[in-house]
Structure 1
Amino acid sequence: MAHKVWSGIAAGVFCLVAGVDLATPATTVPTAPAASSYASTSPYAPAAGVGVGGADTTSTQQVSVLEVIDGDSFRTADGLEVRVLGIDACEAATAGGRRATDAARSMLVGATVVLEREPGVEDDRYGRALRYVTADGRDFGEAAVVADHTAIYTDGRNDASPTRQATLRALDTNGRTCAALPTSRRPVPVPDPDPDVDRPATRLPAVPDPAPAPSSAYYKNCAAAKAAGAAPLHTGDPGYSSKLDRDGDGVACVR
């Protein structure tokens, strides 16, 4: 009898516990959200290595400058054409452009520079890489806008960050002067009015020897010519006379 009682109690406890378990919701283990699949066809979408929100894992690179194209663009040794981001130099064909190009060459040619991306900005419409440029520890754009041949870029959309633009605007106190050379520069030499100065000299015509002056000498005879030390007399000599040249050979008073 006692065995049956304890068996009944045990069965009741089991049913109670089972009922509690079935009534309690199952615990859910949290899982990590799926990775973002950011993709955009915008020309200003982040480049490879640039994460969503501007996290740039490949924002800078070192390159060697091969040649300067003008005051705000250059070509690297590996063939990359770079347009300096945020600035606008005078066109190369102007006087200001020549100054800007000379300044860029002195700072960049042959140097190893650091290119820095602006997150979300890659190339301009000509396919040139838009980059901030640092040469020998100096920001090239900031150094350029201080001069009067380069200004902050305003001809359309400036893709530099607002902070960079504010810095450039504060430094750009004189804008651009592209057409005229400053008064301190040496004036352009006046062209030579005679473009043929280097041609061979023209030989002047030969001037004939002047005709001998009429002779004022007169010898009465050969004795007088010999006494004067003029004999013998040849045709054309002062004092010559056919009267003194008896044989007519052109020589008078031989003896």
Structure 2
Amino acid sequence: MHFPGDKYPETSSHILSAIKKGEPAICTIDRKDADEHRAKSLEGIPTKSGYDRDEFPMAMCAEGGAGADIAYVHSSDNRGSGSWVGNHLEGYTDGTRILFVVDGGKETSVLTATRETPKETPKAPEPASTPKSNIVFKNCTDANKAGYYNIHRGEPGYAPKLDRDNDGIACEK
């Protein structure tokens, strides 16, 4: 999905910032659990007048929920972008994987939200006992050419040989 960064600059800046911090750029649509994901991701994040608490990965993504990156985004930008995403993904079913690509966005600073109570940092998941897909890359150059960056352990395309620092994220951008 090519997200219009010039139309929703604050949300696009947050998406880019979250991905740079290691959040996955791929969203597996999971609308049925969106309310639960949103509640978990926003737990301990205070509201702020005039702003929405934007989460990435989004609540409608299986990757969303506890530990999602949160930023304060002006309500008009956040709600417009949410509506745009909802309309563009309307025809896709749960389980569909969507790669987010920000077009025309300008990375600016975002107001980072912090939780009111400290939370334990989640550990990278343990390696799966069996591969979840047949996506295999010879090296990160090949993965990047295919649009794969920051591939998390357990996601299609992840391989220990691509994870130089063994932190659970291969081909880090």
Superposition TM-score tier, normalisation by shorter sequence:
under 0.3
TM-score (norm 2): 0.24
Structure of larger gyration radius: 1
TM-score (norm 1): 0.18
Structure 1 or 2: more helix by fraction: 2
Higher relative contact order (Cα pairs below 8 Å, separated by 6+ residues) = 2
